[in-house]
C-alpha cells in the first residue's frame, strides 16, 4: 500500500507564494489519435485527406480546434498523474487510489492531508496546484495528418477510443510522426519535487515510454516531451522572479529531479 513519506508540502491554496509557467513541446514519435471525435471533425479530416476512402468517413480522427490538432489539458494531466503515481507507489510512497465513480467517491485523500498526487493534481472535489493547457499542433491540420488513413480490424478494447457503434473494420486518420505540439503547465507554489517529477516524465518520454491518446497497444501515441522554458513569478507584488532557459534550465531540472529521486529513496527506506 505504501507508506506516508514526508514530501515538501504546498503552502496551501489560501496563500499564493509563487506562480510558475512551464512551457513545453511535444513531438510525436508514433502516429497519434487523440480521442473520439465528432461527426463534424470527421468531415473536416475527410476533406483534408481529399481522396475516396472505402467508407463514408474515417472512424477515428484527431480533435481539432481552430484548424489545429489539439490534445486536451485533461488528457495530458491524466498521463502525468498516472506515471508519477504508479512510480511513487512502486517506490513505496503512499498514493491514494481514487474511485471517482458513483455518488460517493471513496479513497480520495482528506483535504487537509492529501497525498503527493492529490496535492499537485487535485481530487475530484478539489483542484490541484497544476493546470495543463491544451496542447496545440504548431502547424495546421492539413500539414500534420498522416497521408493515408490506416485500416484496422478493431478489437473490443479499441471501441473505448471511438464511436461504440463503429464497425469492426476501422479507418483511422491519425497525426503523423514528427509533428510538434506546444503547450504549458501553470503551477501554484510548486516544489522542486514536483518539477523534478515532470523532468522525470521528460526523461521517460525520450525513451518512448510516454503515450497519449488511443490505440496505444497498436503502436500509436508515443511522444517526446521537452520542457523549453520555466518562469517563476513572485506574487507580492506580481513580477517575474526568474526565467530558466538553455543551460540554466537544464541545471535547474537536474537539481529538481534529484529532489524527486530523494523522495522515492525515502519511500524505499521507510
List interacting residues with Zn ion (CB under 5 A).
96, 109, 115, 118
In the complex with Zn ion, the residue whose CB is nearer, 99 or 258, is 99
In the complex with Zn ion, the residue whose CB is nearer, 10 or 96, is 96
93 C-beta neighbours (distance < 10 Å), count: 24
In the complex with Zn ion, the residue whose CB is nearer, 96 or 135, is 96
Nearest distance from residue 116's CB to Zn ion, in Å? 8
Contacts of 229 (CB under 8 A, 6+ apart): 21, 22, 23, 243, 244, 245, 249
DSSP-assigned beta bridge partners for residue 57 = none
Contacts of 219 (CB under 8 A, 6+ apart): 30, 31
The C-alpha cell of 187 is what? 503551477
Place of cell 484548424: 67
Give CA–CA dist 54/29, Å, rounded: 28
In the complex with Zn ion, the residue whose CB is nearer, 110 or 219, is 110
Nearest distance from residue 101's CB to Zn ion, in Å? 16
Nearest distance from residue 96's CB to Zn ion, in Å? 3
Nearest distance from residue 118's CB to Zn ion, in Å? 3
Amino acid at each position: 500500500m505504501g507508506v506516508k513519506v514526508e514530501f515538501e508540502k504546498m503552502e496551501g491554496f489560501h496563500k499564493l507564494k509563487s506562480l510558475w509557467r512551464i512551457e513545453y513541446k511535444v513531438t510525436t514519435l508514433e502516429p497519434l489519435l487523440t480521442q473520439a471525435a465528432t461527426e463534424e471533425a470527421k468531415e473536416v479530416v475527410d476533406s483534408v485527406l481529399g481522396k475516396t476512402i472505402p467508407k463514408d468517413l474515417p472512424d477515428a480522427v484527431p480533435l481539432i480546434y481552430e484548424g489545429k490538432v489539439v490534445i486536451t489539458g485533461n488528457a495530458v494531466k491524466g498521463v502525468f498523474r498516472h506515471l508519477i503515481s504508479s512510480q511513487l507507489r512502486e517506490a513505496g510512497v503512499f498514493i491514494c487510489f481514487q474511485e471517482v465513480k458513483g455518488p460517493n467517491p471513496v479513497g480520495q485523500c482528506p483535504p487537509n492531508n492529501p497525498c503527493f498526487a492529490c496535492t499537485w493534481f487535485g481530487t475530484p472535489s478539489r483542484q490541484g496546484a497544476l493546470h495543463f493547457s491544451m496542447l496545440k499542433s504548431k502547424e495546421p491540420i492539413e500539414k500534420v495528418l498522416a497521408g493515408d488513413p490506416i485500416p484496422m480490424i478493431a478489437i473490443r478494447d479499441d471501441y473505448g477510443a471511438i464511436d461504440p457503434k463503429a464497425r469492426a473494420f476501422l479507418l483511422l486518420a491519425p497525426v503523423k510522426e514528427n509533428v510538434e505540439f506546444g503547450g504549458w503547465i501553470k503551477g501554484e507554489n510548486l516544489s522542486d519535487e514536483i518539477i523534478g517529477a515532470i523532468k522525470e516524465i521528460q526523461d521517460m518520454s525520450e525513451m518512448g515510454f510516454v503515450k497519449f491518446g488511443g490505440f496505444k497497444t497498436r503502436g500509436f501515441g508515443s511522444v517526446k516531451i521537452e520542457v523549453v522554458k520555466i518562469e517563476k513569478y513572485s506574487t507580492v507584488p506580481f513580477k517575474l522572479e526568474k526565467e530558466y532557459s538553455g543551460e540554466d534550465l537544464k541545471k535547474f531540472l537536474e537539481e529538481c529531479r534529484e529532489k524527486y529521486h530523494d523522495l522515492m529513496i525515502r519511500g524505499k527506506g521507510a
